[in-house]
């Protein structure tokens, strides 16, 4: 058992908790509350204090295009209508190899994960980002 604590806990399902904590057992949340109450409830638990920070659930990116991560900057200065922009994106994507698409998608997923994204709804054409994933554990692909 361990207790993660920070100045702010944002449970989403209830009001923020100042000087809050999250008790974690294995990979499951056992309890959420104030640090003082969790210390009393779990006196043997180790404490990891993140200080002036917030602990909150992971972010969900409901609409991503991870395979075009490698195109960052390439399309930023395009001042065209959507159709012209889409033709440019598809042309650039068509010039990428399958391996380049996979590398870009995985890089985008890693970047998102480092920023706190725990779930992606990716709109990639080839499902490249999932080729290295264990679908039974952490993702679902539509049939």
For the chain, give the percent of residues with pLDDT over 70: 84
The domains of the chain, with CATH numbers, are: 2-55 (2.30.40.10), 59-138 (no CATH)
Using 50, 70 and 90 to split pLDDT, how confident is the model at 143? very low
Nearest CA to 69 out of 117, 35, 26 is that of 117
The Cα 35–Cα 17 span in angstroms is 10
In angstroms, the CA 34 to CA 91 distance is 54
Whether 13 has a pLDDT exceeding 90, the answer reads: no
Question: How far apart, in whole angstroms, are the C-alpha atoms of residue 81 and residue 56?
Answer: 39
Give the burial string for 126-138 (b: 16+ CB within 10 Å, else e): ebbbbeeeeeeee
pLDDT, tens digit, 9 for 90 and up, residues 76-130: 765 678 888 888 888 888 888 888 888 888 888 899 989 999 888 888 766 666 6
- Integer-rounded Cα radius of gyration of the chain: 21
């Amino acid at each position: 058992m361990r207790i993660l604590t920070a100045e702010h806990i944002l449970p989403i399902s209830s009001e923020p908790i100042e000087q809050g904590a999250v008790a974690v057992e294995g990979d499951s949340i056992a309890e959420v509350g104030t640090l003082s109450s969790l210390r009393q409830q779990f006196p043997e638990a180790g404490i990891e204090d993140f200080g002036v920070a917030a602990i909150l659930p992971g972010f969900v990116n409901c609409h991503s295009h991870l395979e075009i991560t490698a195109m960052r900057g390439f399309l930023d200065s395009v001042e065209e209508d959507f159709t012209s922009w889409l033709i440019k994106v598809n042309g650039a994507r068509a010039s990428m190899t399958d391996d380049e698409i996979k590398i870009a998608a995985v890089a985008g997923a890693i970047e998102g994960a480092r920023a706190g994204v725990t779930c992606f709804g990716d709109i990639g054409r080839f499902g490249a980002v999932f080729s290295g994933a264990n679908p039974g554990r952490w993702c679902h692909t539509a049939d």
